[in-house]
Structure 1
Amino acid sequence: MRIRASLAAAALSGAAALTALAVPAAHAGENPAAAKAEQYKSAHQALSKHRSLAATPATGTEGDIQVTKVTVNANKDFVVGVSPKSFNVYVTVTDPSGIYQDPHGVDVALWHGTDFDNDLDGFLWNENGATSCDYWSATSATCKFTITAEPGQTGDLYDSSLNGRWNVTVQATGNDGDFVENDYYKNEWIKRAASFSGFNAGPEPVSKGKTITITGTLKRASWSYLKYYGYGSQSVQLQFKKAGSSTYSTVKTIKSSSSGYLKTTVTASVDGTWRFHYAGNGATSVADAYDYVDVR
């Protein structure tokens, strides 16, 4: 992968080298991912002198070094609204010779696209390397990385189309020059934040047997424009939790209008909390809104 690419790039010069490494070349001037991916590659070219020079595939290992665990955002979906947000990644590596103590001796990044070298349009990485590394034995290390995702047209999440599944690339180097690289170690879901606005269940208090009207608007964040917009044609559950209970029950499922608006009615029976619950999808987070109604 990049060891092979790095050695080839060393033979190139000037603009030719930059062209050969563009990720992707057609988009190099259109998104910030290409520049960050180039920084990532450059950071690891220096390690090639310490590593074995054997050519490796895009996913491969040279020697007996192993990445044994990668935990991204505590194994939870990473949800981003309209402000920068950080998450942690932990990488555990073992090698009989020990782990090479370089800022990028262990490294990890998240990327969006179909191929790291040829079709990449999103890239999240801490260019300073690990926030900290715990060399907890002579042969093993766990490194913590703090990565910040910034939405907006000049940020990492510059377009809402970057929501969904991202790939995790990880690599590590041993003291003996062994190394492991895997562009598809695992997947992580980075989602646009959803929320409800104007949620209300009323009137309140209400007489038993009378009608309660529940309204609200489902919205989700636009990374392109840094605003929340109505999210239409989405199924939302109306749920109820009786006073004194800890469990919600689904009363009905309704669908948001083209503008995200929701409205439904129920008959008042007992005190309790009404909730709109949106379960989310592969691109959008879960969202809930609550209102307690006193029935007399």
Structure 2
Amino acid sequence: MAKKRRNASVAVGAAAVLTAIAAAPAGAANGGVTYSGLSVNGGKPIVIGIQETVSVPVTYRMTTSRTWDWPPLFFLYRGKLANRDYDMLYSSFGSSDRTCPVEGTGRCEVEDGVLDIDPRYAIEGNGDAGTWKSAAQLSLPGGDSVFTDLNRSVQVQRATRVTVNAAPEPVVKGKTITVTGKVSRANWEKHTYQGYGGRTVSLQFKADGASSYTTVKKVTSGSTGALRTTVKATTSGTWRWKYYGNSTSGAKASTGDHVIVWSGVRIMHAAR
């Protein structure tokens, strides 16, 4: 038996598997059951906060000559699938009767499935962040099951938040702009966001009229996640911080803070 079985309630057309599988290898099979075309969240990591339910799109195809009692259950595991010595993250997967009947044979195909992930119930602790392996279970008549390793590693990540403030606003051209902010990360055990220290975060700028941001410099966050640096005012535009994430933490950019840069002459005229 699995060491952990969490959030196992069934909702037709929904699931709560924390996975980011780009595609199951064609012909991934076990016991006469073949999986292909599996896509969850477009292959991107699943980034989870502290209380918001994350809804993730999923598609897959399962083909078998055997009769099943229930559609496949996709799950993540750490450990050994062969002898059922593993930790498990999953909930049941349902779909419409038209594409994947509760009882049937042949092909089970889902194009509009959804994974609904509620971190308050599906996550046990911060240790759940990181790399997991993926598998599927097909329930057969008589209580038997076929477990298939889908041979894909999956990243489950804790959400991050980044704030920004650029001052003064407006500023005289050539003067100093101080850009501050903070990077924090979801703590799944305390259900709050806490400062994320020692992170390399990029300060980016987008000049008025430009279509994209450019990295100006990189700054390391302090022990409380605080960010602070200075730049010279050259032209009006928007400043932001961007954290690119890691294997356990999601990438995130702050909102932008716009700063108007004036020449000294223009400020004198405005004062009159």
Shift of 1:238: 0.7
Structure 1 residue aligned with 2:179: 214
Q: 2:71 touches 2:94 (CA, 8 Å); kept in 1?
A: no
Please list the CA deviations of residues 175-217 of structure 1 after superposition, one character each: whole Å capped at 9, or x if unmatched: 9xxx9632343222211110123x2011111110010000001
Shift of 1:119: 3.2
Q: TM-score, normalised by structure 2?
A: 0.75
Find 1:194's aligned residue among 139, 160, 168.
Answer: 160
Indicate if the aligned counterparts of 1:203 and 1:213 stay in contact, CA closer than 8 A.
Answer: yes
1:238–1:250: 8 Å Cα contact kept in structure 2? yes
Higher-strand-fraction structure: 2
Pair 1:228 & 2:193 matched: yes
Select the structure with the greater relative contact order (CA < 8 A; seq sep ≥ 6): 2
2: CA distance, partners of 1:271 / 1:36: 50
Whole-angstrom CA distance in 2 between matches of 1:186 and 1:262: 36
Q: Which amino acid aligns with 1:88?
A: P
Tell me the equivalent position of 2:95: 131
Question: For 2:59, which of 86, 90, 97 is the aligned residue?
Answer: 90
More helix by share: 1
Aligned equivalent of 1:257, options 202, 222, 227:
222
Report the residue type matching 1:158 in the other structure: E
1:291 alignment partner AA: D
- Is 2:42 the partner of 1:77? no
Match of 1:12 in 2: none
Matched, 1:183 2:144: no
Counterparts in 2 of 1:93-132, with a 5 A limit?
93-95=62-64, 97=65, 100=67, 102=69, 104-111=70-77, 113-116=78-81, 117-120=84-87, 122-126=88-92, 129-132=93-96
In structure 2, the partner of 1:10 is none
Normalised TM-score (structure 1)? 0.70
- Structure 1's 123 and 173: CA in aligned 2 closer, same or farther, altered over 3 A? closer
SS of the aligned residue for 1:280 comes to coil
Shift of 1:140: 3.3
Secondary structure (helix, strand or coil) at the match of 2:250 reads coil
Flag the 1:202–1:134 CA change in 2: closer, same or farther, 3 A: farther
What are the residue-to-residue correspondences of 1:240-279 with 2, within 5 Å? 240-279=205-244
SS of equivalent to 1:224: coil
TM-fit CA distance, 1:36: 6.1
- What's the CA shift for 1:244? 0.7
1:159 aligns to what? 125
Count of residue pairs brought into register by the alignment: 233
RMSD: 2.8
Aligned: 1:281 with 2:246: yes
The structural deviation recorded for 1:242 is 1.2
For residues 210-246 of structure 1, what are the alpha-carbon distances to aligned partners after superposition, in whole Å with 9 as ceiling and x for unaligned?
A: 1000000100111001000000000001111111111
Partner of 1:150: 118
Kept in 1, the 8 Å contact 2:29–2:35? The answer is no
| Aligned residues of 1:124 and 1:149 also touching (Cα < 8 A) | no
Distance in structure 1 (CA, Å) of the matches to 2:257 and 2:165: 6
Alignment-mate amino acid for residue 239 of structure 1: Q
CA 1:173–1:150: 2 relative to 1, 3 Å: closer
Q: What is the letter of the counterpart of residue 156 of structure 1? A: A
Q: Which residue pairs with 2:36 in the alignment?
A: 68
Q: 1:110 to 1:88 in 2, by over 3 A?
A: farther
Matched, 1:205 2:170: yes
> What percent of counterpart residues are identical?
31
When residues 114 and 141 of structure 1 are mapped into structure 2, their CA distance, relative to the original with a 3 A threshold, is same
SS in 1 for 2:127: helix
Distance in 1 between the 2:257 and 2:114 partners?
A: 36
Q: Distance in 1 between matches of 2:118 and 2:200?
A: 29
Tell me, yes or no, if structure 1 residue 291 matches structure 2 residue 257: yes
